[in-house]
Every structure is written in structure tokens, then in C-alpha cells.
Amino acid sequence: QQIQEDLNKQLLDNLLSFLSRSHSEFQEKTTGWTCRMKFREIPTAALVLGVNVTDHDLTFRGLSDVLQDNITPYVALLEAKDCPGIKNLMQKLMGQLMNCDIDVDSLEDEDYVQVSQNRIRCSMSSLISWYESVTKKTDSETPSKKRNSSSRHWQSPPVVVIFKDMESFTTKVLQDFIVISSQHIHELPLVLIFGIATSPMIIHRLLPHSVSSLLCIELFQSLSCKEHLSTIIDKLILTSQFPFKLGQKVLQVLINIFLYHDFSVQNFIKGFQLCIVEHFYSQPLSVLCCQLVDIKKRVCSLSHDQCENIRRLPSFRRYVEKQESGKQIELLTNDSFLKEETEKLLEDLHVYHENYVSILRCLHVFTSSLPKYPLGKQIRELHCACLENRVWETEEYESSLQLARMLNKTDLVTMLQQCVEILMSSSGKGFDKTVEKLKEFLTLFQNLEAEASQERDVSVSSQKEFQKKTDLYHLQKTLLELKESRKSKKLTKFEMLRFEVVDYIDSLVRKYLVPADERTLQEIMYFNAATVLRGHLNAAPRTALHTALNNPHWYLKNQALKCDGGGISNKAPDICIVYKLHLECGRLINLVDWLEAFSTVVMAAEEPNADAASSDQVDDIIHARFIRAVSELELLGFIKPSKQKTDHVARLTWGGC
């Protein structure tokens, strides 16, 4: 679990670094703005953040922290839901500003009293007087106590007001606020920040020209959330630092939720964390999922039960079956031998991860520039493909290799250089030879260049042909030609070399990008319960309700309730009977008919030879039960009373479950 905490911290660090990166430019601007106050414009930053609303909160908190640290102590965050009117807005603004002032110099108590007095009158003039008093005080104080944080800010720090969700503010509130503050811009250096989720056009839609002319708007585009995601994936999943890995299906589920549903990096991270918790909770062997240095200690401390657990792992069984019989028995009976073996295997797994990541990046370098992206544009797609099965057996891989065989020289050389860089920077040990080999290729290419100047007419013509025909339209034709040409004429040196390079890359891929499923003991590190995760993250409340009401035994665990087919059993709870009956009705349901049907179902169990009196006069108890069930349905939102017809209720839901 401490690993999880590590992860959390890492994630937050990542996010914060993003924020500071995207806003560093912004801060410079803010400093510049205050210089130009000669017009009556309020400097305004429009921050376009994309539609992932759930992430904004964190972004803004980070932003205000950064601003408070570097530029001004006076930052107010305003949310639309707090400000239905201009009055509430001012109150909120004053409260936040004065509180943050108290944070800066928390020593003076009489200051606090003053503030609470001021709160009664929430208007711009009192805000201005407060601002003047505060700035004056800091001016006089800064020489005396230099260590004060205010020395970092300059003499008259601007007051930054952040509107978190520009879209939801009512037009009038914003207009009024802008008009008011524009009148006092000389006394109170305000800076507005609008958080915009959709597009900057919203400013023009919300504000008339007379108001927007009071603003001096600059636009800042924050990172697209897709890019954000790929960096997160890059840093979290495609590293060998964290022993915990996601299986292919799980990763796919997480990415799908992200792309299809909310674009929220926050939710992605939460899902990731959920995976970690679930993994450590459900997998008894997850103690072994730790950093390489700890493995030895932990393996030694394994109990007998845990060893049995290891023996039960499917991947381990496969491994055992491959060994010769003597070793098999040792593995299955001797605990200490098993421990040694496990340690070795886990170390193997670590090495495999390290190699995997760097080779994956190399392959990505190659495939990402191919036309039509047979293996996907993003590295995450490639990663998924590699996890799923042996990548070299797929059609896409075949076609991409074929395309790679037709690359022109400059591209090929740059790619090789990139690969060399990646491999050099990676920590894997077994790459020395690979790097050498690649470098050898590079020198060969350079040599070739020298030679090419002599026999230009041969190679250039053929090369040109290939360059022209790299688009997919001509692919088929070129391939045919290639086959013919292979037979007919001798290949040029360049082509030979190119084939060699591609073959070598192919061999690397075959060697290192083995899907994790085939590795022994992968269960310890990989979390693969995609259905569990989907159940947790992609909740389907309506479907759940439907199943609960349709097949009560699903939840109640009572065998008697299990009914066959479409029949309505009378043993089920009342609400289930009512629900099933209501499914058969149209938009408007006659209550009397419904009640009759209900009583028939309920009475069916009791003696069919019910006396005449109770047959036409429904039993009071049944009546009461019916009414209770119907009101429960109303509470669940399935029906509502209708005014169109007396004694009828309207259905609110239709199919679609």
C-alpha cells in the first residue's frame, strides 16, 4: 500500500508540473499587464480548458496556489453556483480576499475584528479601502521584517479574481461586476481569469459589446486532455519503475471510459488507483509486487500457504510443466527451492519490463510515421496491441513491416538515431549489443551515401520510385513490383541494407515484446480483472434496478424466488410484481386494472376456490399492499401521477435497459 501512496504523490507531482508549465507563460503576462493601466480595460485571461469539467477543480486550485506563491496574495476563486446575484458575488469575493489577507499576516488580532466589521458592508468602495489599507500596511511592514512573504510580491500586487466556470454565470451578474470593477480599475488593480470549458466564443455570447470592450482579453489554451492522458500513460504505465502493471483489458476499459465518456484525467487516475487497491486486495501474492530491491526479503518471508498459492498460479503451472520431471517434483514439494526459483523468475520479469518498454518505444518510432498508422498513432495503442497477443502474428504488424521496408533513407536514418537514443537512455543491460548493431547500421548508411554519389543514376531512380509510391493507394502495386523486381534484378545496396534493418527490428520485437500473459508469474504484477473494474467504474443504475425488480433472487439469494421464464411468481416481493405488471402497460396505466391484475397474481397462490365475496371485493390487505408498492415505484421514479385522466398514472421509463 505504501507503493500506492508513492503513486499518488507522483501523480500529483505530474499534474502540478503540467500546471506550472502551462501557466508559467501566463504569469509573465500578468506582470506585464499591470504596467498598462492607462486604458479603462480590465486585463483578462481567458483560459480554455476543454470539456473535462472534473479536472478543472484541481487545475484552478493549482493555479491559485501558484499565483499566491509567486505573484500576489490576493486571489479569489468564484464559482457560479455561489453567485446567483451580484450581491452574493461581492460577498463571496470580499470574504475570500480578506481571509487570504489574514493568512498572510495572521498575527494581528485587531485586524481580524476590523475585517469582520467590514463584512457588513460589501461594496466596491469598502473593498478599495481595505485594499489601500492592506497595501499601505505591507509597504510599511516590509522594510521592518524582511522575511515576510510579502516581500516576494511587488508593491501593489494585483487582485486576481478567477471565475471557475464562465458558462454557468448569469449574464447580468458578470456584466454588472465588470462594469463596476472597470470604474475602479485605477484604485484597485484587478485581474480577471475566466475559466472556459467550451470555446472562447462564449465571451461574446455572454457579454454585450459595451461590456466586453471594457476587457482586455488574452487567450490561453491549456493542454488538450488527450495529450495530457498520453503523458500520464507515458509516465505511469510505460515505465519500469512501478512494479504494478495493468493488463490489456483493464487498460482498454480505462482508456475507453476516458475517450468515450468524460475526457477526465482525474477519473482516469482514480480508476488506476482503484485498480491498485483491487489488485492488492484480491491477489494474495501481491506482496511480491514491489521494487526489485525488496523482492529478496519478501520472497524469503513467504509462508507455506503463499507458496501453495504460487503453485496454483496458471502461469507457474505452465512453467512447471515445461521443466523436466525431477525439477518438477522439487518445485512442487520443496518450499525453499520454490522460493529461489520465484526470486529468479521475478527478476527475469523485471528485466523483461525494462527491455519491453524501450523496445516498445523503438517500435513506436518506426510505426508512428507510417502512412495510415496500421499499428496506431499513439504509443498506448501499440502498448495495448503488444499486451493483447504476440504482436508479430497480427496482420497490422505484417503490413507495417512491409511499409517500413519502403521507407526512404533520410527517414530511416533519423528513426535509427532516435532508437539509439532511446536505448542509450534506458537502464536495460542487454542493449549494448543492440546499440552497437544500430550504430553499425548508421555508419553503413553513411558509407552508402558516399558510394551513392558515384552510382547515383542507379539508386536515385529506384529510390525515387519508392518515395513516390509510399502512399497506401499504390501499396499493392508496389508490392507486386517489388516481388518481381526481387526476382528480376539485383537489389541496390541501399535496399539490401534496408531489409536488413527491418529484419533486425523484427527480430528485436520477437525477442522482447512477448506479451505479458506468457511470462511466468505475471499474475503478481498484472491486474487483469476488467469486468470487476467495469462494474465499479461504469455503473449502470438503471440496469441494476431492472434486474433487482425483475429477478429478485439475484440480490435476495432466496432460491424460492427463482422463477422460470416470463411468468410472474406470487412469492416475489410486492414491488416486483407491480413492476413486472407495469412493464406490460402503455403510457398511461389504469390503477383499477393494475390493482386487479395484482390481486389475481397474489391470490393465485392461495386457494383458487376463493369465495364469491372476496372475488369481486378486493381484500383490504391486498389493497394496502398494492398502494404501498405503487408509491414505492413512484419514489423510484418509474411512474408519476398524471393529470390527463383520473385514476391513471403515467409511466416515465421505457425500455433501453
Query: At its nearest, how many Å lie between another protein and the CB of residue 72?
Result: 19
Q: CB of 27: closest distance to another protein in angstroms?
A: 15
Give 210 or 609: the residue with its C-beta nearer to another protein: 210
Q: CB 640 → another protein: shortest distance, Å?
A: 5
Is 152 within 8 Å of 138 (Cβ atoms)? no
Cβ–Cβ < 8 Å for 519, 349: yes
CB atoms within 10 A of CB 430: 11
The answer to whether 73 touches 150, Cβ cutoff 8 Å, is yes
Number of residues that bind another protein (CB under 8 A): 68
Q: Residues 51-70: x/- map of binding to another protein (CB under 8 A)?
A: x-x-----------------
Using the rule CB under 8 A, is 50 a contact of another protein? yes
Distance in angstroms (rounded) separating the CA atoms of residues 504 and 513: 14
Min separation Cβ 36 and another protein, Å: 6
Q: Return the number of the residue (514 or 548) whose C-beta is nearest another protein.
A: 548
Stretch in the footprint of another protein (CB under 8 A) among 145-153, 255-263, 578-586, 602-610: 255-263
Among 56, 531, 516, 142, which Cα is nearest to 315's?
516
By C-beta, is 37 or 479 nearer to another protein? Answer: 37
Phi, psi (5° rounding) for residue 163?
A: -95, 110
From residue 64, how far is each of 12, 69, 74, 215, 494 by CA, in Å? 16, 8, 9, 21, 57
Closest distance to another protein from the beta carbon of 120 (Å): 8
Residue whose CB is less far from another protein, 38 or 146: 38
**How far apart are CB 210 and another protein at their closest, in Å?**
7
Of 217 and 332, nearer to another protein (C-beta) is: 217
Nearer Cβ to another protein, position 86 or 351?
Answer: 86
Q: Residue 475, Cβ neighbours under 10 Å: how many?
A: 17
| Beta-strand relationship, 190-196 and 159-163 | parallel
Tell me if 618 sits within 8 A of 599, measured CB to CB: yes
Minimum distance of another protein from residue 632's CB (angstroms): 13
217 binds another protein (CB under 8 A): yes
**Least distance between another protein and beta carbon 99 (Å):** 22
CB burial of residue 470 (10 Å; 0-12, 13-18, 19+): middle
| Sign of the CA dihedral running 240, 244, 248, 251 | negative
Three-class SS of residue 404?
A: helix
What mask, x for binding another protein by CB under 8 A, covers residues 87 to 106?
x-------------------
User: Please, what is the angle between helix 493-512 and helix 456-468, to 10°?
Assistant: 50
The least distance separating another protein from the CB of residue 317, rounded to whole angstroms, comes to 36
Please tell me whether residue 121 binds another protein under the rule CB under 8 A. Answer: yes
Q: Is 225 in the site for another protein (CB under 8 A)?
A: yes
Q: Least distance to another protein from the beta carbon of 97, Å?
A: 17
Rounded Cα distance between 598 and 574, Å, is: 9
Q: Fill in the per-residue mask, 176 to 215: x = in contact with another protein (CB under 8 A), - = not in contact.
A: x--xx--x-------------xxxxxxxx----xx-xx-x
Look at residues 359, 381, 385, 387 and name the one whose alpha carbon lies nearest to residue 516.
387
State the Cα–Cα distance between residues 561 and 566, nearest whole angstrom. 13
Pick one of 140, 143, 260, 393: the residue that binds another protein (CB under 8 A).
260
- Asked whether the beta carbons of 501 and 416 are under 8 A apart, the reply is yes
Taking the chain, what is the end-to-end CA distance rounded to the nearest angstrom? 38
Q: How far is the CB of 646 from another protein (least distance, A)?
A: 19
Residue ranges in 426-550 assigned as alpha helix (H): 432-454, 456-468, 475-488, 493-512, 522-525, 530-537, 541-550
Q: CA-CA distance, 136 to 147, in Å (whole number)?
A: 18
Cell 461581492 identifies what position?
90
Give the CA count within 13 Å in the CB-facing half-sphere of 335. Answer: 11
* Residue 652 interacts with another protein (CB under 8 A): yes or no: yes
**Does 586 interact with another protein (rule: CB under 8 A)?**
no
Nearer to another protein, 155 or 199 (CB): 199
| Positions 262 through 281 that interact with another protein (CB under 8 A) | 262-263
Nearer to another protein by C-beta: 219 or 472? 219
Is residue 48 near another protein by the rule CB under 8 A? yes
By the rule CB under 8 A, 539 interacts with another protein: yes
Among 11, 73, 130, 165, binds another protein (CB under 8 A): 165
Q: How far is the CB of 504 from another protein (least distance, A)?
A: 39
Q: What number of helices (H) and strands (E) belong to the chain?
A: 31, 10
Q: How far is the CB of 440 from another protein (least distance, A)?
A: 44
Among 106, 149, 543, 600, binds another protein (CB under 8 A): 543
Cell of 266: 482525474
> In 3D, which of 84, 80, 534, 55 has the Cα closest to residue 264?
55
Q: Using the minimum distance from each CB to another protein, give the nearer residue, 257 or 422.
A: 257
Give ∠ CA 242-246-252 in degrees, rounded to 5.
Answer: 140
Q: 46 vs 578, which CB is nearer to another protein?
A: 46
Task: State the minimum distance, in angstroms, from the CB of residue 226 to another protein.
Answer: 8
Residues 202 and 629: their CA atoms lie apart, in Å, by 48
Residues 204/68, Cβ–Cβ less than 8 Å: no
219 binds another protein (CB under 8 A): yes
Which residues are CB-contacts of 417 (< 8 A; sequence separation ≥ 6)? Answer: 442
Closest approach of another protein to the CB of residue 121, in Å: 7
Would you give the binding string for another protein spanning residues 8-47, x where CB under 8 A is met?
Answer: ------------------------xx--x-xxxx-xx-x-
Q: Which stretch binds another protein (CB under 8 A): 5-13, 175-183, 241-249, 337-345?
A: 175-183
Contact range with another protein by CB under 8 A, out of 223-231, 420-428, 555-563, 603-611: 223-231
Q: Nearer to another protein by C-beta: 150 or 182?
A: 182
Residues near another protein (CB under 8 A): 32-33, 36, 38-41, 43-44, 46, 48, 50-51, 53, 86-87, 121, 123-125, 165, 167-168, 176, 179-180, 183, 197-204, 209-210, 212-213, 215-219, 221, 224-226, 257-263, 538-543, 637, 640, 652-654, 656-657
